Chains A and B, each alone.
Chain A
């Protein structure tokens, strides 16, 4: 139902998103993390625009624009600002070494294809790639959170998850009802700000935002 050019564009953008996922996992510097995230958001926004163009649903344009503005510009800026402000060491300090992480992410991607395969028979989604990649994004985002130490990287991981979810929304249902979509954006923004605030407070209290020191509460 889509013309092949758009289909190619969508597939390319999806591939970029997957690529950025892997880059996020592979990068070892904080600054590059935010950059890559910005690129991913940009690609996502573009993808949304293509879909909007294809389906003619105007509200997806709004979503695309919002996505680009919010996730490709404002949030990366904010995180960069926070990073400099609290003088985080540049290194990412992964708990799992980068080559291992990449292997795991490859496995995750396979899993995502495996899991979404039955869904594809319905043919509601745009392409099988999109759904699988969105799912992979979600899982890779989670993996980032599990395997990285710093509070800021956790926020980025969470944002990657959000991007994945957003991607899934676009690829399966051409995004959700407008009000819901707006609400979700609002929540993401507020969430990031609140997390940033807490990161500040944690830094002030503990002189570090390495979450591995946040282990005072356990049984």
Chain B
């Protein structure tokens, strides 16, 4: 079952590669493939949520993995749905050749493949390989437009993430080393086997291993100060890819960190060590993101920094711990993905209309693109934590976690930063939406079909803002239990 899920995107990628010339066919294949992936993924997710963990030795899908998978397939599907009209428009404008279009979908599916691999692998080594794989594949997508800035972004992305990931490998080795004494030389680096003996793992190796893993995967997550590649890559990639990077990839990397974090909480070191580090990096990310959001001049970079902010929030949530902290952070992963995807889609529409990424260059959206502007405004309010959108719920939960666990000062910092970011972010977005459009800018949407996935996302974040389906809620509780938090 899981193997089908893994191979499906590879197969679609191959199809796209082979049908390279026939744009229409590639698009159809992509949409159908993404649909199938969504279907298959949902079935698996539902299965895990309802029946429990799937353990196939090499492949392992527990609630945490399934939750990630849900995000991957959902955003993956919507991103592809959005890609079709978006990339077609790029194609028509001569930005992309039809050959490249085929490659685009190929890489997109390979990208999804690597991410799926991250969450379904039991072996922490394979997780590492898959995360490294995401970098290699998505670097192509980041450098997709053969322009100087794209290449620069891709290069930075590649180098910084590679170095980070190397550290993660070193960390993985140390964790592995910590298990040698217990499991002997046949230790297989499976997460489940490690968990089984978590209490006996060598603390010295585990500790340094976790630090390395955190810095390593943290680079990929976009935790400050290892975040530096992120704004470049997110702003240079095609918008649907930005949505995937921001909404899914970062979560996948966070997922990798979490696996180690869980291990730490069950080890003899206890959770305080890893929680403290997560909290530290989370707060740092939040603060640095706030600074850049305030001074930002490029709206795609704005969204990228907002991703850093939200990864910070997620890290803070896990750092706070307790039921609310973890529950909130998990929920926040989902909410952030959905909302950020919405925003990147919106930004894509704006970019295609205004042909500039500069915030100052975009004025009067409400008059030129009424639908996009409404959706964008809702997205902006949502991402900055306004109810009734879902991000609010998870942010409140994280805050509750902090205060409930007695982390008063970090909680206050957290709340303060969020408010500052709200002000700065809304300031930018409001300036874009209102005012007089630049001269000669005609009224009308450029990417009408692209509005459909956006509306779907708005519906999701609205519904999730008011209530969380019981199935999901129960699954999240199971995950919280995994962390050792009381339910």
Contact = CB atoms under 8 A, between A and B. Distances in A.
Task: Check whether chain A touches chain B (CB < 8 angstroms).
Answer: yes
Interface string A179-195: 11001101100110011
Contact of B231 (A158, A190, A211, A219): A219
Contact of B155 (A124, A151, A180, A186): A151
Interface string B123-157: 10110110011001001100100111101111110
B267 to A, nearest CB: 14
A205 B231 contact: no
Contact of B232 (A138, A164, A217): A217
Nearest to B171: A165
**Contact-residue size bin, chain A (C-beta under 8 Å from the other chain):** 35 or more
Nearest to A198: B155
Interface stretch (B173-181, B269-277, B472-480): B173-181
Given A119-B208, A216-B149, A124 B169 contact: no
Contacts of B155: 151, 198-199, 202, 211, 214
Contact of A122 (B156, B169, B204, B231): B204
Contacts of A142: 163
Contacts of A115: 208
A121 B208 contact: no
B185 interface: yes
A194 to B, nearest CB: 5
A161 B125 contact: no
A180 B208 contact: no
**Contact-residue size bin, chain B (C-beta under 8 Å from the other chain):** 35 or more
Interface in B157-171: 158-159, 162-163, 166-167, 169-170
Contacts of A138: 166-167, 170
B296 to A, nearest CB: 7
Nearest to B147: A205
B295 interface: yes
B62 interface: no
B309 interface: no
Contacts of B235: 217
Given A172-B173, A198-B155, A177 B162 contact: no
Nearest to A145: B163
B292 interface: yes
Would you call the interface of chain A mostly helix, strand, loop, or mixed? helix
Contacts of A194: 136, 139-140, 158
B166 A201 contact: no
Given A115-B208, A151-B155, A183 B125 contact: yes
A214 B156 contact: yes
Nearest to B301: A219
Contacts of B162: 158, 191, 195
Contacts of A96: none
Interface in A201-219: 201-202, 205-206, 211, 214-217, 219
A173 interface: yes
Interface string A112-155: 00010011011011000000000000100010010000010010
B189 A183 contact: no
Contacts of B139: 194, 198
B90 interface: no
B354 interface: no
A177 B152 contact: no
Contacts of B177: 124-125, 172-173
A176 interface: yes
Contact of B173 (A122, A173, A198, A217): A173
B126 A169 contact: no
B307 interface: no
B173 A165 contact: yes
A162 interface: yes
Contact of B126 (A121, A122, A179, A217): A179
Contacts of A172: 173-174, 176-177, 180, 205
A49 B32 CA distance: 50
A206 B146 CA distance: 12
B175 to A, nearest CB: 10
Contacts of A180: 123, 125-126, 128-129, 189
B154 to A, nearest CB: 6
Contacts of B208: 115, 119
Nearest to A118: B204
A201 B143 contact: yes
A176 B173 contact: yes
A161 B163 contact: yes
Nearest to A188: B132
Contacts of B152: 202, 214-217
Contacts of A75: none
Contacts of A66: none
5 contacts: A142-B163, A168-B173, A176-B172, A187-B136, A201-B143
Interface of A: 57, 115, 118-119, 121-122, 124-125, 138, 142, 145, 151, 154, 158, 161-162, 164-165, 168-169, 172-174, 176-177, 179-180, 183-184, 186-187, 190-191, 194-195, 198-199, 201-202, 205-206, 211, 214-217, 219
Given A122-B205, A176-B176, A217-B235, 11 more contacts: A119-B174, A154-B159, A165-B169, A173-B176, A187-B133, A191-B132, A194-B158, A195-B159, A198-B158, A219-B231, A219-B301
